[in-house]
Amino acid sequence: MSNALGSGVDEKVAQLIDLALREDIGSGDVTSRYFVSEQRMGRAFLVARSEGVVSGVEIGEEVFRRVDSDCEVKVMLQNGASVFPGSRILEVSGRARSLLTAERTAINFVQRLSGVATRTSMFVKAVEGTGVTIMDTRKTTPGWRLLEKQAVVSGGGQNHRMGLYDRAMVKDNHLLVKGAAADLPNSIQFMKKDHPEVAVQLEADTLQQVEAFIGMNEVDYLLLDNMDNDTLRKAVAIRGDRERPVLEASGGVNLETVRGIAETGVDCISVGELTHSASALDLALDFVPFQKTF
């Protein structure tokens, strides 16, 4: 494998690609080594077999280049592009052995990320016209969070916090461990003093909590957890004309329920299934005749 970094991915993503390639190639691709001539050149297209939204194009491109830096890769569709059966996403050419060795890993990355983008686009379309933002969660594949969250953006959604470090999200379990919510204003003040750039979000399960939390200074977001639509509308009414906190609905969200939730007047809806339940987009690498040899 080549050690040269491509320009389209950062070091952490490159390490993930290398891990995937080591997992698949191991001590060597015995099929290509013994059944494909070393001199044979190849040309192929990464194509869609179903309708969706593509993401992870630069990852697929990098996989081929890390297997063989002499591979030529042409990006035909960018992240966020709509695809249909037969749509060509990448064109790759070079040593046939290298293309075949990289094939499965490249497809695995692009099909998974395109599946996330496609699922996200379905939710975005479902709330079109309401002004509501569809957001992801931290329910991501371990090690793939950055890639999957980029795929959400490709599908028209927006990212929630990346991790535990860039937003303080006080949920019911935090309050249970703490023992009481009475110290919340002081805790918020202390955190803001040390981390003024970090937003604060509180989880509310009842309208009583909504009333109490909205009155607290420096609360940026309010998570309305598992509330029915009537309760969500009442929570929106409690906030009234205030610009803050931003109201986020979460829980019980699927393609059948999301439109009704959006019409309650909340600002955004977080959807775990964008990343934890998205089906891979059907992709394939189609080879074409290419006779050139060294």
What string of H, E and C letters represents the secondary structure of 235-246? HHHHHCCCCCCE
Given the residues 203, 239, 248, 267, the one annotated as active site:
203
**Residues 17, 63 contacting (CB under 8 angstroms):** yes
Our CA dihedral for 137, 139, 145, 151, rounded to 10 degrees, sits at -60
Given the residues 58, 62, 136, 225, the one annotated as active site:
225
User: What is the DSSP code string of 276-294?
Assistant: HSPPPP-EEEEEE----B-
203 catalytic residue (yes or no):
yes
Left (φ > 0), alpha (ψ -120 to 50) or beta: where does 133 sit?
beta
Given the residues 139, 167, 192, 234, the one annotated as active site:
139
95 catalytic residue (yes or no):
no
CB atoms within 10 A of CB 208: 9
Burial pattern 71-87, b for ≥16 Cβ within 10 A else e, equals bebeeebebbbebeeeb
171 catalytic residue (yes or no):
yes
Q: Is the peptide bond before 142 cis (omega within 30 degrees of 0)?
A: no
Given the residues 88, 104, 138, 192, the one annotated as active site:
104
Given the residues 12, 33, 171, 292, the one annotated as active site:
171
225 catalytic residue (yes or no):
yes
104 catalytic residue (yes or no):
yes
Catalytic residues: 104, 139, 171, 203, 225
